[in-house]
Structure 1
């Protein structure tokens, strides 16, 4: 593929665009803005909801260059700054209720976006363990995305709308042991996936980052997709150039055309500088 054909760069966020402190580094930020200045569109594709994307998008000036936000693992795609929706696929309300009822038997914490709020069962019941470290998962998710919290002791009764996704959080070892039971009743009706070792999510069937990208109208040879986790693999199917971060899981690296440096060492920024040196003269 000729890099001169590139018109769209689609990037995952956590583990890809931002570093381990969930920050956008100056080098990568500058490189991406250079691409926009030369007519290449940027898209952020993440399990995060819109509220968790927009501040990063503004740092990258995507609201000035008609950037694209693909949120909730592909459930919605919209164009900035107008927020024109190009793709939307939510979980039907009754099916969402069935998932929430099913999850009651597992040691996990369901979380659902509801506008400016995140619905949870109990704001004080929130600790999980990942890689031997304990974390307050509700605080982590709410502050990462700018949510206020709304408590409901029975989410099955409170969710009277069609959510973009259902996020369940749990300790990494526990989820590995139980995720097949968690997905079993729904695997023919919903997409069920890990988006982090401590997150197992549900979205509408055939809703993923790749389906959202396909709705945007770009030819495959015009698209670069960059990611690190299993939920980034559907993006690769719709991209002419597939890039895995140095910290990516083995499955993603195996599917990639290129493996770049990790997210703590400006993997994206370095690749851009090497691929488009004329933009930095």
Structure 2
């Protein structure tokens, strides 16, 4: 389904990173960069919405020319909304009780577990899977390995990730074993086959974008979003956002989309913006 779009109608564009804005090579294509810069120059807010922390978003914001206190990102799957200068506008955290709950969940499989904060990643695991190391490297994050006794009682964190290497089925085992109460107590998404991400209940990309839109006095119908995976579902469940699914998106995302564009390796974001907005 297509809807007529114009610059007067859309005032904010929320764009997922991995599998959406970024190619398989982890960069923004020349064409996509050019089109997003054109959109931004027209006064439309381009907001990167990612499961990554700000440290893993900044280089791509810089690549698009987005900088300063009046440009924003929705990070940690929506648990944190930040200005690109680092100022936190909204933060939803989990605490030490949640920390011990996550350790109990980990016993259901042999997946690695790490806790993400705006400063660094923390883990109690000594044998780190390659995927966890990749996650830390891709987000320019320090990964601190600690014993449980070294974690203070006032420890708080924004997101949890369970990971395993792509050849392993440990994340699948954990996904199948998670009890119903966990899904009622936390926001849990399967962002990749080998990654489960957990946030405080109510912390999601969709809610983060809504929070930011309200702050900027932008109506939900003036927001367009792009995504491809399970951690984008909250954006696609918003009845008012104009929803664009990538050609490489999972079927549940495509089913909720107003428009399906090309995949992330063939300028899907740029093609949709040129057709629907520019």
Give the superposition deviation at 1:78.
1.7
2:134 is matched with which residue?
Answer: 140
- Inter-partner Cα distance in structure 1 for 2:118 and 2:257: 36
Residue of 99, 103, 126 corresponding to 1:100: 103
Give the superposition deviation at 1:205.
0.7
1:258 is matched with which residue?
Answer: 259
1:132 is matched with which residue?
Answer: none
Residues 53 and 118 in structure 2, CA contact (< 8 A), matched pair in contact too:
no
- Inter-partner Cα distance in structure 2 for 1:247 and 1:155: 43
1:88 is matched with which residue?
Answer: 91
Unaligned runs of 5+ in 2: none
Residue of 179, 185, 202 corresponding to 1:206: 202
Q: Kindly report which structure 2 residues correspond to 1:163-242, keeping only aligned pairs within 5 A, or say none.
A: 163-171=157-165, 173-216=169-212, 217=214, 218-236=218-236, 237=238, 239-242=240-243
Give the superposition deviation at 1:117.
2.9
- Inter-partner Cα distance in structure 1 for 2:240 and 2:66: 20
- Inter-partner Cα distance in structure 1 for 2:119 and 2:192: 23
Change (3 A) 1:276 1:256: closer
- Inter-partner Cα distance in structure 1 for 2:117 and 2:49: 20
CA-to-partner distance for each residue in 1:82-113, whole Å, 9 max, x for gaps?
A: x4433221113212222123314421111122
Give the superposition deviation at 1:63.
0.9
- Inter-partner Cα distance in structure 1 for 2:202 and 2:72: 20
Residues 121 and 155 in structure 1, CA contact (< 8 A), matched pair in contact too:
no
Change (3 A) 1:101 1:107: same
- Inter-partner Cα distance in structure 1 for 2:113 and 2:47: 28
Residues 228 and 249 in structure 2, CA contact (< 8 A), matched pair in contact too:
yes
CA-to-partner distance for each residue in 1:176-232, whole Å, 9 max, x for gaps?
A: 233142354422221111111111111101111111111121212100010001221
Q: What's the secondary structure of 1:203's corresponding residue?
A: strand
Q: What's the secondary structure of 1:78's corresponding residue?
A: strand
Q: What's the secondary structure of 1:98's corresponding residue?
A: helix
- Inter-partner Cα distance in structure 1 for 2:249 and 2:207: 21
Q: What is the TM-score normalised by the length of structure 1?
A: 0.87
- Inter-partner Cα distance in structure 2 for 1:147 and 1:22: 16
- Inter-partner Cα distance in structure 2 for 1:73 and 1:155: 28
- Inter-partner Cα distance in structure 1 for 2:145 and 2:152: 10
Change (3 A) 1:2 1:276: closer
Q: What is the TM-score normalised by the length of structure 2?
A: 0.88
